Amino acid sequence: MTVTRPAPNGHTPESKTAESTAQTLEERLEWVREMHEDGVNLLPLTEGLLRENEQLQQALDVVRVRQAELREELEALRAPQLYPVVITEVHRARGMVEVHGGGITTRVTVHPDVPRDHLRVGRRAILARERNCVLEVQPEPNTWNEVGTFESYFEEGKRLLIRHQENLLAVTPTEELRQIPLKKGDLVGFNRDGAGLAFARVESPSQEHLFFEETPADRFEELGGLDREIALLQRLVCFRLLHSDVARRYKLPVKHGILFEGPPGNGKTKLARCLAHYIAELVPAGKCRFMAIAGSQDYSMWLGQSEQRIIARFEAARALASDGNVPVVMFFDEIDALGRRRGADVGSTATDRILSTFLAQLDGMQRISNLIVIGATNRADVLDPALLRPGRLGDVRVRITAPNRQGGRAILTRYLAEGLPVVGEVANLVETVLSRIYSPQSDYAELARVKLRDGRMITVGARDLVSGAMFEKLVRMAAEEAAEREMVHGQGGITEADLMNALDRELRSLAGLLSPGNVRNYTTRLPQDVDPVTVEPFTRLHTAAALRSL
């Protein structure tokens, strides 16, 4: 039997009142011992005490967390206010400095504990709460975020004039920068904030990335149907590099500019690469640097940046050509993107400025003997006359037309005779393809009709659309078809049917791409004074090609 003994104040353990809180700890312990000796069940009392202790512990944890938060807030309120600034001028005799921060420039004193050798223009500093005293100066120089081009000194060297995005800015150099002599064109690191400080001379980035190849591996022997053009370029280069003394005696100017013009796909880029390789074989250095640029590659939406990119390319080319005996060939593909006739872009002068910059750079290459600039275009008729005059790209103009029958024979023979498996004689296959392209009675003699504004109709045929690149593609397409047939049926070798099928697909694809805007790129038979208004491709199936595909 469990006996519940009253507490010393007359209450049971389950019904303690607030009066029990007046008891001392010793009295409570004595009461618990007496109940234990009498055999009283102390479980309810123990559970209640444990629950109460747990609640008190949780409440104490909450109080501790809040105390830590209040302590941090109090320390933040008691801490002095500090203001970061940048030193813009030092007056050591007066023990003062001029600082800039928060959009305000002011003069303040310097705390005695601050080392005086740390007081330098451009250093970051900390002001006291009242913003009247420098408490700390960081020994490391400040960082800069902008880069400009040095123009000149003024105020007896205490200030610099730099150009940034076509704007002239006046900045103050730090003491470290004042020890470095600057010349016009040097890059300067500065910040455009209110302090207006320049911190360092910046080394120009390497321009090696502008040159894609040391010396192209392409050779003239890889080209077909361009013997006359190759002979012209070889004669020009040999006379210039191997007989310069004769040119001087006859007072013949050095020709620096070459223009390749003609429809696309006929080897203008390949010819430029082959010329660079040929030059490398003639010079003692045995190499020629080659820079290939797409006409629109240097365009930028930012004012002046397109001109800066063009200038950077020519500066890199002139520097490499002037340093040593390594010739440099600059090749501008689609030069009409840069050299379009001025005034054609109504409402904008950006293209005119870019062309003016390009022409000025061409004039600056005259004194560099081993620098050649080659331009390539499909539309020589839209180029500005200033670009085509002698001394620029008008020195040598090479017309690279679509291959005639003889040129097509040379190109096709070269590609088919490269060890490809063929069925029959290569010469017979070549003549079959050529007859389908150049014969007036061929199914491909009429592929599309061009309607001119005056009502006349001009027929476009296979001979107008053919190109060296198309001949190469024909052989590749035929080879793919023969290889697939050999994998499936075991019958190998390029056949006449393979070539005919490839020819039919390619010509019909090209005819479908013709439009009034691009048809002049493919044929010279259109009159220049009348615009084309429509192009109507023939839709009939070429029966001969269809029969061969069966």
Report the CATH number at residue 180: 2.40.50.140
Q: Which two tokens stand for residue 504?
A: 């039919």
Residue type, 377: T
Residues 255 and 377 in one domain: yes
- How many beta carbons lie within 10 A of that of residue 533, not counting itself? 12
Residues 421 and 272 in one domain: no
pLDDT at 18: 41
Stretches in the chain below the pLDDT threshold 70: 1-22, 76-81, 141, 165-166, 194, 204-212, 295, 297-305, 323-324, 344-350, 539-550
C-beta of residue 35 within 8 angstroms of C-beta of residue 42: yes
In a domain, 219, yes or no: yes
Residues 257 and 367 in one domain: yes
Q: Which two tokens stand for residue 374?
A: 């080659």
Residues 176 and 270 in one domain: no
Residues 353 and 318 in one domain: yes
Count the alpha carbons within 13 Å of 126 in the hemisphere toward its beta carbon: 12
C-beta of residue 274 within 8 angstroms of C-beta of residue 216: yes
Residues 423 and 374 in one domain: no
pLDDT at 499: 93
Q: pLDDT tens across 29-48, in order?
A: 888 888 888 888 878 888 88
Q: State the burial class of residue 383 (Cβ atoms within 10 Å of its Cβ: 0-12, 13-18, 19+).
A: buried
Give how many domains the chain has, as a whole number: 5
Report the CATH number at residue 306: 3.40.50.300
- How many beta carbons lie within 10 A of that of residue 353, not counting itself? 15
Please identify, among 384, 399, 414, the residue that sits at the C-terminal boundary of a domain: 399
Q: Report d(CA 523, CA 138) in Å as an integer.
A: 72
Residues 257 and 133 in one domain: no
Residues 244 and 319 in one domain: yes
Q: Report d(CA 496, CA 475) in Å as an integer.
A: 11
Beta bridge partners of 275: none
Please identify, among 141, 173, 189, the residue that sits at the C-terminal boundary of a domain: 141
Nearest CA to 362 out of 373, 375, 353, 378 is that of 373
C-beta of residue 124 within 8 angstroms of C-beta of residue 233: no
Q: Percent of the chain scored above 70 by pLDDT?
A: 87
Q: Which helix (H) or strand (E) holds 171?
A: strand 167-173
Q: Report d(CA 45, CA 4) in Å as an integer.
A: 11
Q: pLDDT tens across 117-165, in order?
A: 888 888 888 888 778 888 888 877 677 888 888 889 988 888 899 887 6
Residue span of the structural domain in which 290 resides: 209-399
pLDDT at 544: 43
C-beta of residue 516 within 8 angstroms of C-beta of residue 467: no
